[in-house]
Structure 1
Amino acid sequence: MQPTSPAQYAAATERRTPDVEVVRPGVWSLPLPLPRRAGMESTLCTVYVGDDGGVTVIDPGWDAGDNRARLLSLLARTGRSIADVRLIVATHLHIDHLGLAPWIHQESGARMALHPLDAETLLHPPETTPDDALFDRWGVPRDERHDFRPAIRASFPELDTGALMPLEGGDVIEHSGSRLTVLHTPGHTRGSVCLVDAGNGLIITGDHVLPIVRPGLALGGDEHADPIADYLTSLASRPTTTSRSCQRTSTASAVSGNGGATSHRTTGSAAKRSRCYSTGFPRRPCGASPSG
């Protein structure tokens, strides 16, 4: 294993926020600090800057601190402004991945693409903590339930329903010169997705796989019937619409929503621990099994 972004990996392990990085030409990784209570230092927002002048913002982080200014600074650095944002994409419903979306929508008019299952939870948040019957159904050990209960109570930002657009598995997003194929990967939440950018050799994984911590499961409300089975199945998922182009690519970089970057060559999804895992997938573009 080798970090493909040593700076980001070091920052993740040292619990500090890294600098902005160029992932590919026109693709930027923008760290956005979290409130201290969040337990991690920052999330990673991916910004596509198209040759046509348009901007796509993926996983805009928590609307806290100077995060608005950080995004505006990056846009200015690329010769763009908030008005140039044409699309917002959230890999899942958590506030540290779409907290800035309402503000971006207000400033630019851009809609936010989100999987319908997470949109449903976002618009109708759960009001009660799951009970022991639910934990029994999920197979949560009784001696670990005291840790699980606080985690299930997520906070969701308010977003106008008119600002949402559905994002289904198999959809292809063509925006600002980019082409992203949506892969539905439930587990972390019911509507979690990954985005496959075959042209750039990238897989944007959100919180489906993370660099230095395990992704939590069933963190999107109590409607998730079997989050562990869903997650394991998700690790074997592959995008049918881009499989041929991905098969011609010997390696890809997995761009996660939190943490640093680690290089790992494999024939499955296995160890996508990173903003930039170098993940070989001659046959399985988005993976096979967890690496542990």
Structure 2
Amino acid sequence: MPAPDEVSDWTRAGVHPVAPGVHRIPLPLPNDGLRAVNVYAITDGESLALVDPGWALDVALTQLRSGLAELGAEFGDVDRILVTHAHRDHYTQAVHLRRLVGTHISLGAGEKPTIDAIMAGDEDGGAQDRLEHLTRLGAEELLPLLPLPDAPPGTWEAPDRWLTDRTVVRAGGRGLEAVATPGHTRGHMVFVDDKHDLLFAGDHVLPSITPSIAVEPAPQRLALRDYMDSLRLVRAMPDRMLLPAHGDVTPSAHARIDQLLEHHDMRLQQSLLAVSQGCTASDVARVLRWTRRERHFTDLGPGDQMLATSETAAHLDLLVHQGRLRSAIHAGVVRYGS
């Protein structure tokens, strides 16, 4: 679930050095359970790059301007922006900065279907797509409870460069390897600084919460399988300092990956045991407990209920793929059974 339970000081405004030439600048996410997003400024004194510059809001832009000023820089000094994925709290401010000062944006090529779908937009703000998604989950009653989208299609644009897996890009005077890690989104990428043992992880590995799975306009059918495979991919690499998009920097990416894999293995088993013949993802989500505090489904807000139900569907669909469950669609609703 992507809603943190405990308040920590990682959201405190300012510039926080995390490694030589790398600074963490938290930016606010108003009315969002995540509370903040980490922007990473990378510089060698001559070149300046940003990773995941945040959500295009006035308050975030002001805070980013102040952070760069502490580093003796301004927006026009940023020569490259790397974005791990196309969610609004990572990508939209990159587009805004490019409109302001022409900064070059790089994004994983796997995000192109998402960018295309968002930019195409529709007159109902995506309400029909959302209704079809919720119907599939057996949770259409959530639709009137959910807020309308607050980042219109015009907030997004295509990047200057679509990155492919294992491309090395120059950022802040160093080389970063872009590694495809689909799951959280279909085109998610992490950026690896091999020389300094740093992992710019975006939302792939978060230190205290489990990333949502495939919450996007054009999701992959087996996004949880992709996500767990991507976790194993990064686990097979040398261990590095974890620089997440949400939460504090931690010394070992491997330690957190092990916890996430264990969590999803346990969740698969819990989901399997919770299935009754003909049930929906919504039915199963209501049986399970959520967050570290083991909350009941009914104690969650509508947005988190939607995320919880979507995550449950991802686990159930993987169980079907593994041959441990069966599924069938009736009137647009997916129902599961043994």
After superposition, give the CA deviation of every residue in 1:132-175 in whole Å (9 maximum; x if it has no partner). 78986xxx6x579959x959x794662444x4310111111123
Kept after mapping to 2: 8 A contact 1:60/1:98: yes
Structure number with higher helix proportion: 2
Instruction: Compute the displacement of 1:196 (Å).
Output: 0.7
Among 31, 55, 59, the alignment partner of 1:62 is 55
Please list every run of 5 or more consecutive structure 2 residues that lacks an aligned counterpart in the other structure. Answer: 265-338
**Given the superposition, is the C-alpha separation of residues 91 and 190 from structure 1 closer, same or farther in structure 2, using an over 3 Å criterion?**
same
* TM-score w.r.t. length of structure 2: 0.64
Among 149, 158, 161, the alignment partner of 2:155 is 158
Kept after mapping to 1: 8 A contact 2:29/2:37: yes
After superposition, give the CA deviation of every residue in 1:171-204 in whole Å (9 maximum; x if it has no partner). 1112331111111111111111111111111101
Superposed, 1:196-275 pairs within 5 Å as 196-238=192-234, 247=238, 251-264=239-252, 266=254, 269-271=257-259
Note the aligned Cα RMSD (angstroms): 3.4
- Report the structure number with the largest CA radius of gyration: 2
Separation of aligned partners in 2, 1:15 and 1:261: 9
Kept after mapping to 1: 8 A contact 2:37/2:89: yes
Greater relative CO, 1 or 2 (CA 8 Å, sep 6+): 1
**Residue correspondences, number:** 252
Moved over 6 A (4+): 131-136
Instruction: Compute the displacement of 1:67 (Å).
Output: 1.7
Structure 1 SS opposite 2:233:
coil
Separation of aligned partners in 2, 1:201 and 1:61: 24
The aligned residue for residue 175 of structure 2 is 179
The aligned residue for residue 4 of structure 1 is none
The aligned residue for residue 35 of structure 2 is 41
Please list every run of 5 or more consecutive structure 1 residues that lacks an aligned counterpart in the other structure. Answer: 1-8, 273-288
Aligned AA (1:255): L
The aligned residue for residue 17 of structure 1 is 12
After superposition, give the CA deviation of every residue in 1:103-141 in whole Å (9 maximum; x if it has no partner). 2112331221111231331232274435678986xxx6x
**Given the superposition, is the C-alpha separation of residues 222 and 83 from structure 1 closer, same or farther in structure 2, using an over 3 Å criterion?**
closer
Separation of aligned partners in 2, 1:55 and 1:81: 10
**Given the superposition, is the C-alpha separation of residues 20 and 120 from structure 1 closer, same or farther in structure 2, using an over 3 Å criterion?**
same
Separation of aligned partners in 2, 1:116 and 1:15: 31
Give % identity: 25
Superposed, 1:102-181 pairs within 5 Å as 102-125=95-118, 127=126, 128-129=128-129, 155=151, 158-161=155-158, 163-181=159-177
The aligned residue for residue 192 of structure 1 is 188
